[in-house]
A = this chain, B = another copy of it.
Amino acid sequence: MRLAGRHRRRGSRRSAARHETLDRRRLLKAALALIDRDGPQRFSIRRLANELGVTPMAVYNHVSSKADLLEGIANAAIEGATYPSPHGDWRRVLRGWFQALRRACLDHPGAIPLIESAERLPAAVFRPMETTLSALQQVGFGVEDALRAYFLLVTFTLGQASYQIKEWGRGIDAGSAVKENRISGTTFPAVTQAAMFHDWDFDMSFEFGLSIILTGLEARIPSRSRSDGRERSRR
């Protein structure tokens, strides 16, 4: 269980050094905007510096390396999520929170590859993680199963968003993929048939998967009261 976080701020024991963090935020905000505009492929420290009208090395005053910078951008993207209430029926809570997480990802398409390529999950996933674990444990799940369920939900959500984003790269061609790849329709008939959906509804696909997961989880609730679980004591 390792998660990425910001750098431990050094010095400045008084007055909170507000300018330092503010500048880092401005930097990350500009970087996120740049990466959403031009795509992660074209992003570089030198371009970011140029965009800010500053020398490349000035960036290193707020960031320790490019990897740190990319992690910061990925985190900033997820941090922008606006979640609904964490209280009430657990299925509603999980559905709403992972919908919100997905929405935040789709709002920053350029940052999604950074979330994947980061060697740690951004620290901003702590919030949906906490809500998920808490909701599932309240309903009777053990700590380990709750954690497993969280991994299921988060990998599905991020993976789905990632796949959706890639469609943005090139045209919306579809059946052509089958021909391009010289797939003989006889050996892959179902794939060929599926390739005909050239206007795939990713929202519905996500909702379908989410429903499947929630249904599966509901059937797994340990013992009593598998309906709403509002009345269950915690732990």
Contacts and interface: CB of A to CB of B under 8 A. Distances in A.
Contacts of A155: 155-156, 159-160, 162-163, 209
Contact of A126 (B154, B191, B212): B191
Q: Interface on chain A toward B: helix, strand, loop, or mixed SS?
A: helix
A221 to B, nearest CB: 11
A212 B209 contact: no
Interface string A190-211: 1101110110100011001101
A213 B214 CA distance: 9
B144 A152 contact: no
Interface in A81-121: 113, 116-117, 119-121
A38 interface: no
Interface residues of A, number: 73
Nearest to A5: B181
Nearest to A172: B2
Contact of A156 (B120, B159, B193): B159
A217 interface: yes
Contacts of A190: 129-130, 133-134, 137, 146
Given A211-B216, A215-B215, A215-B216, A3 B181 contact: yes
A35 interface: no
A153 B208 CA distance: 12
Of A1, A5, A143, A173, most B-chain CB atoms within 10 Å: A1
A13 interface: no
Nearest to A9: B182
Contacts of A144: 197
29 contacts: A1-B174, A1-B198, A1-B200, A2-B173, A2-B177, A5-B183, A6-B181, A116-B117, A117-B117, A123-B181, A126-B191, A129-B188, A129-B191, A130-B188, A130-B191, A133-B191, A133-B193, A134-B190, A145-B208, A148-B209, A152-B160, A152-B208, A152-B209, A152-B212, A152-B213, A154-B159, A155-B160, A159-B159, A212-B216
